[in-house]
Structure formats: C-alpha cells, structure tokens
Structure 1
Amino acid sequence: MRLPIIALAVSAFAIGTTEFVVMGLLPQMADDLGVSIPAAGMLVTGYALGVVFGGPLLAMATARLPRKTVLMVLMGLFIAGNLLCALAPDYDTLMFARVIAALAHGSFFGAGAVVAGHVAGPGRAAQAIALMFTGLTVATIMGVPLGTLLGQTLGWRATFWAVVLLGVAALLIIARQVPDLREMQAPRLGQELRVLRQPQVLLALGMTVFGFGGVFAVFTYIVPILTEQAHLGEQAISWVLALFGLGATCGTLLGGRLADWRLMPALIIALAVLSLFFVVFAAMMQHPAAAVIGVFLIGLLGFASSPGLQTRCVQQASAAPLLASTLNQSAFNLGNAGGAWIGASLLSHGAGYPALSLAAAAVTAAGLGLTLASAYLQRRSRRLQVSPAIACSHG
C-alpha cells in the first residue's frame, strides 16, 4: 500500500510547489516580464481558475478511463504546462501556460483520493488520503522556500525547470508503483451530478470558497508586504516562507484533530479567529517581528480550517466521492483566485497593503456566515427528524 501512496504524495508535492511558488517570486517575475505587481499576482488567479474549471471538466471527461491512466495523463499535462512556463517569452504566454498546468490539479487530487482509498482498503482510506495530501503541506515547507531561493539565485525560470523535473519523477513513480486497478467501478456521473442539488453541498462548497479565500488576498502579495511594509531583506524571504509552510503543516494537523472532535464548532472557531487575526495583521504588518510571526499565523490559522472544510464537503456529498473531492479542490482554488483578484484590484486602485488584510477579514467573515447558516440548517433538520419520532412514540 505504501509505495503507491508515496507516488501520489510526490505528485502532490510537485503540484503544490508550482501552485504556491509564484508568491515568492512575484517581484522578480514582474520586473522580468515588465508588468506591475498586481498584474503578476493575477498569475495566481489564472492558475486557480484553471483548477476551478479544469478539475470538474477533466474529471467527467476521464471518468470511464482506468484510474492509473487518468493519473498519468494528468501528470503529463502538468509537465507540459510547466515546461511552457519555463519557456514563456512574455506575460500572456506565461498566463496561458499557468492555466494549462492548472487543468490537471483538481482532477488529479479527485482521482488520487479515490485511488488512495481503494489501495489502502477498508478502515485505512482516510489515513491514506491524508498521507497523499501531506505532499501539499511539505511543498509549503520545502518546495516553495527552495523554489523561491532557486528563482532568486538563477532566475524564476529555473524554478519552473525544477518543477518539470519533479513532474517527470512523479510520472515515472506513478507508472512503476500505482497498480492498474481496472477492477474499480467507474463513477456514475448522473448520480454524482444530482448531489449538487442539495443545499448543504452547495453551502459546503461556499464555505470553502470564502473560508479559504481570505488567505490568498494577503498571501499572494506576502513578499512585497514583507519587503515594502516590514522592510525585510530579500535574503530573508525564503526562510520566512518556510515559516508559513511550518504553520500550514501545524494548522492542518491541528485542524484535523479539531474536525474529528466536533466538526462544525471547530470550523466556526477557526474561521472566527482567522477573521480577527487579519484585522490585527493589518495594523501590525509594518513591524518586522510582527510581520514574520504573522506569516506563520497565516499558515497556522488559514490551514486549520482546511481539513474541516474538506471533510464537510465529502460528508455532505457522500454519494459522489469523485466529484466531491474534485469540486472541493475547485472551491479552494476559486477562493484562491477571488482572494488574489481582490488584492490586485485594491492595489490597482491605490489601496495600501493593510487594506488587503482588512479585505481578507471580510471574506473570511463571509465564510463564517455560511458556516453558521449550514450549522443552523443541520440543527433544524435534526429537530424536524426528532419531532415526528416523538409524535409517533406518544401516538
């Protein structure tokens, strides 16, 4: 069981690195391409929108193919997109290449989660899926800081060449270690699509979009915040980004434990604390020590809600595991895209970086509102189920 899951985790590491590393290279890419910081930040939005639309479409298009074939095709698409990123002569080509690389993201994790659960067997599926997703958190600790350092030293294109090599390694490991799994039953798309009619499923996706979207309104522009607001030197950036990765890992582990404790109260607490933190960060980002601690806390508090949001979506769409996993990845990235776009819009209209943090607080508060609405509907549904049972017992 372990080698196939490790193959998926290596793939997740490569995907996570290319998704997040642009934030660490934003000033260099803007200078080289001759665009503004807000325009360079839209490369994050472009990637995220590629995940949003590409994930569900590719999941449906490849639903009847063997899962190993799907994983290899998607990783090949990911390699091609990043190769084009490394070779892109201008901003428009780079944006197109980012979208191509992103198309594989959501559907890869959707298919990978199904494969991981099947390979692990009954009673170990959740552990296997969690192990696969550790590739993403390791990417924030190692891939992004190292990719940032490589880009600062050899130019940002070198980082994408490194991601291409990671993708090739992941493809070879998948080809060698992931079994064919031809016995897996193909998902019934009609049944999975019908799940989207359920209000709680739509609320769960909305909770993910807004609950995580605020993080990227700030984190997309974290390098100029650190250099222009906190006046940190460029040589310190990769180390500070490693702190974000450490915070994200701790937050993911903490969030998983809290979600296992009591899912909805844990999400409400996590989102309320995150929204409040962004208000404080807006006032404190000019101080170097506070900014560095704030980067760690963005990772810790931002990712503390991630396991709960993933669990809530899959829980509410239990009849559609493939589509639920894929759509929730799309929801995370729609939040990423929206957050990065909000930040770019504010900066383009002359707002300062503290305004981004206040906007992040508002976006997170919207996610909190959707979570409270979902919890209320859940309690009301349980009361309505209990009331007839009481009436029958008295009758």
Structure 2
Amino acid sequence: MDIRVFLLAIAAITVGLVELVVGGILPVIADDLHVSIATAGQLITIFALVYAVSGPVLLSLTAKMERKKLYLIALSVFFIGNVFTYFSPTFTLMMVARVLTAASAALVIVLSLTITARISLPEKRAKALGYIYMGISSSLVLGVPIGIVLTNAFGWRSVFLGIAILSLGSIALISKFLDEIPTGHVQPLSEQVKALGNKKIIFAHLATMFMLAGHYTVYAYFTPFLEETMQLSPYWISIFYFIFGLAAVSGGAFGGSLASKIGSTKSILFILGAFALSLFILPYMTFSTPVFLIIMVIWGALSWSLAPPQQDYIIQSDPASSDIHQSFNNSALQVGIAIGSGVGGVVYNQTGSVTVMPSVGGIIVLIAFICAAISLSIAVEKTRSRKAQKQTVYE
C-alpha cells in the first residue's frame, strides 16, 4: 500500500475517534459538568449535525486552496478543538468545542478520501479508498471501548487530550511525507450546486443513506436484542461487540478489494443484497451461538463494505464534481446513522420488542438496493444514449 494512503488512514482514525467516544462516557461527563445524561447526549447530536453539513460547505469554500495546506489547517483546528474540550469548565463551552472538532473532522475525512482518490492509480483506487474507510469504521467501532478504558484510568478529559496528541502526530507525518497537491480544475460553487441535480449520483447518495439507516436500526439497539433473544450477560455482550467490531473494521478493505476484482457496480449490488439478507435471517439464527456469530460477522463486515465501491462509482460517474460528491456521500452516511437510530427507537416504542428490528432494517436496506439499481440503470441508459448518438453521426 502507498505509504501516503496509510498516513491518511491514520489521520482518519484519529479524527474519527472523537465522534462516538462520548457515547460510552456520557454519565461521567454529565456528572462532571452538572447536566442530565439526556442533555449530555446532545454532544453527540450537535457533532453529527455539524459534521453532516460542514463537510460539503467547507470543501466548496476552500476549493482553491492547495490540498496539503488545507489538510494541515484542518488537523490544526481539530487539535485546538480537542484541547478546548479538555479545558472546558462548562457544558456550553464543550458544545462550542464539539462544533470545532466536528467541522474540522468532516473536512479531514473528506480530504482523506479525495486526496486518496487523486494519488491512487484508477485500478487501485477502490482498494485504497477501502483502507480509508477501514480507518473510519475502526475509529467509530473501537472509540467507545477505548474511551471507557481511558476514562476509568485517568478521567474523561484524558480521552480528548489523547486524541489531541494523536492529531499532533498526524500533523507531523503529513507534513513530512505528503507532497503538495494542487487543486486542479475548480468548478464555481454554482456549478457544484448544479451537480446535485445529477439523478444518477443523487440515488447513489440515497443508497448510502438508506443502507446505514437500515444498519443502525438494528445496531443502535443490539444490546437489548442480545439480551432478549439470547439472554447474554454484559460480559458476553461486550465479547460479541468486540467480534462485531473486528468484522466491521475489515469491511472497508473487503469492499475495496471486491470492487477491484469484479468492478464497483457489481460490488454495490452484491453488498446491498447480501447485507439485506443477513439482516432478515439474523433473528432466526439465535438458536445456536456459533451459527449466530457467523451471520453476525458477515453482517458486521458488510456494514462498512459499501463505501469504497460507492465512492469509486461516484468518481467514475462525475469526475469534475467528484470532490463535492464524495463529501455529500460522507454526509449521507451520517444522516443515515441518525435516521436508523431514530427508526429503531420508534419501532422499539411501538412494539416493545427488538426482534422485529432486523426485518425493519432489512426492508430499509432493500430501499437502498432499489436506489442503487435506479442509479446504475441511469448510468447504463446514458451510455446507450451516447453510443446511439455516435452511431447516428457515423451513419
């Protein structure tokens, strides 16, 4: 693997840690800042909202800035935001710090993706993007247990100090090993906004959003699912989460490798179809722990496999606007997480049972499959149209 891609993946891991790490230490933060747990939970909400919006906006506003310089500025702001979090004496100031870290993290992630796409050979691009997403998924999955361990040992503020130190390491490595990257052709903001009218890519974004929504409809309530269906103790639930996390971390690399072998379009449909199937059969596999673990590992690996082929497909579909579309696709991912968590909550409140959630999640993923199929059919239709036009001119 290109050492530069490896360094970008490390930076993605660093900034990704800060998003969900709060989830596992909310009671401690709430107690220290003298707010309720529900109020402290807004630290996650504000981060997700700012992250989803700021990525595309900041990418457009900084379109003419040299990429390495912009990357280092974003990492520096991220460092400042975490130091600010470490010293925040009140909840209000911590919310301000979360806005800083969310905006800068969103820019770092989308720059990691766009820079990786530029420095990678076309035939290796999907695989390289898979490594970036492996970094993102590993930070989201492993951030919570890491945060709990550090909090128990050194207090919750040490978590953000540690992330700040890691970001300094990323700044040093990027400064030394990443060459300057020119902006290339920059479309005016008005043209970038018009690019959102591309139905083919809009349906690709919707596929990303609905897949993550279907996933988090189940994953956000996986603990009560395991308690209700398999009567697992907290110890074994943590083991299951760890196994799931390892599978999810491998998902990005799997998706990238699959796209390199069979192509991005085939990979997208295969992953979405297999993912929906894994959710539908999940509740029926609880009769046997080994069988359930196999299906759970497949579910976990597929949960982060779509992104690399999807990003590669977007780049191929609209190269001129690929940067802004990569950013929007990353935002769609965040919106999907929020939607899925909300849908899961509604289903749980209405039914009082978590056993139906995998079926609901599977249906939502089927919607993602339909969106992807529509996007791909538009792509095929446009290709046929161009061939017909060429044939007409030839005749």
Between the aligned partners of 2:187 and 2:320, the Cα distance in structure 1 is 10
Which segment is superposed worse, 148-157 or 48-57?
Answer: 148-157
Equivalent residue for 2:37? 35
The AA in structure 2 aligned to 1:9 is A
Match of 1:245 in 2: 245
Q: In structure 1, give the amino acid aligned to 2:363.
A: A
C-alpha displacement at 1:104, in angstroms? 2.1
The one-letter code of the counterpart of 2:319 is: S
Please tell me whether the aligned partners of residues 117 and 124 of structure 1 are also in contact (alpha carbons under 8 angstroms).
no
Closer, same or farther: CA 384–126 of 1 in aligned 2, 3 Å: closer
1:371-386 equivalences in 2 (<5 Å): 371-386=372-387
| Residue matched to 1:275 | 276
Q: Is the 8 A contact 1:230 1:285 kept in 2?
A: yes
CA deviation string 1:291-342 (max 9, x = no partner): 6555433321212322222222222221123212212211211212222232
Partner of 2:266: 265
Structure 2 partner of 1:112: 112
Q: Is the 8 A contact 1:24 1:238 kept in 2?
A: no
Give the gaps of 5 or more residues in structure 2: none
Matches within 5 A, 1:215-230: 215-226=215-226, 230=230
Displacement of 1:248: 2.0
| 2:67 equivalent in structure 1 | 67
Per-residue deviation, residues 188-219 of structure 1 (Å, max 9, x unmatched): 23443332222112111111111222222222
Distance 1:122 1:213, change over 3 A: closer
1:135 alignment counterpart: 135
Q: Which residue is equivalent to 1:50?
A: 50
Deviations 1:141-177 (A, max 9, x none): 7555433443455555443333232223223333343
Aligned 1:351-366 pairs, distance under 5 A: 351-366=352-367
Structure 1 alignment gaps of length 5 or more: none
- Over 3 Å counting, the alpha-carbon distance change for 1:300 and 1:115 in structure 2 is closer
How many correspondences in the alignment?
391
Q: Cα distance 1:23–1:300, how it changes in 2: closer, same or farther (>3 A)? A: farther
Q: In structure 2, what is the equivalent of residue 185 of structure 1?
A: 184
Aligned partners of 2:15 and 2:108 also within 8 Å: no
Q: Which amino acid aligns with 1:202?
A: I
Alpha-carbon distance in structure 1 between the residues aligned to 2:219 and 2:41: 10
Alignment root-mean-square deviation, CA: 3.8
Post-superposition shift, 1:65? 2.4
Corresponding position of 1:172: 172
Q: CA deviation at 1:14?
A: 1.0
SS of the residue corresponding to residue 320 of structure 1 reads helix
Distance 1:351 1:133 in 2: 35
1:236-266 alpha-carbon deviations (Å, 9 max, x no partner): 5554333223212433333223333143333
CA–CA separation in structure 2 for the residues paired with 1:234 and 1:49: 31
Structure 2: how far apart are the matches of 1:227 and 1:5? Answer: 40
1:302 aligns with 2:303: yes
Kindly tell me: are residues 148 and 313 of structure 1, through their superposed partners in 2, closer, same or farther at Cα, counting changes over 3 Å?
A: farther
Conservation of the 8 A alpha-carbon contact between 1:25 and 1:156: yes
Paired residues of 1:75 and 1:167 also in contact (CA < 8 A)? yes
Match of 2:211 in 1: 211
TM-score (norm 2): 0.81
Change (3 A) 1:363 1:67: same
If the length of structure 1 is used for normalisation, what is the TM-score?
0.81
Q: 1:171 to 1:218 in 2, by over 3 A?
A: farther
Q: Shift of residue 58 of structure 1? A: 1.1
Aligned to 1:163: 163
